[in-house]
Amino acid sequence: MIELNQYKTLTFDCYGTLIDWENGILGVLKPLLLVHNTNLDDEEIIKIFAEFEAELETGEYLKYREVLKRVVQKFGERFGFEPTTDELNSLADSIQHWLPFPDTVEALRALSQKFKLVIISNVDDDLFAFSAKHLQVEFDQIITAEQAKSYKPSLNNFRLAIQRINLPLEQILHVAASVYHDIVTAKSLGLSTVWVNRRADKNKTSTTYSQISQPNLEVPDLKTLAAMSSPNPQ
Give CA 206 to chain center in angstroms: 18
C-alpha pair distances (Å), 9 with each of 113, 151, 157, 194: 11, 22, 16, 13
CB atoms within 10 A of CB 188: 13
CB atoms within 10 A of CB 105: 17
Catalytic residue, from 13, 103, 182, 221: name it.
Answer: 13
13 is catalytic: yes
Parallel/antiparallel/unpaired status of strands 217-219 and 172-176: unpaired
Task: List, in sequence order, every residue forming a beta bridge with 142; answer none if it has no partner.
Answer: 119
Nearest Cα to Cα of residue 158 among 148, 171, 170: 148
Specify the DSSP class assigned to residue 114: T
Which active-site residues does the annotation give? 13
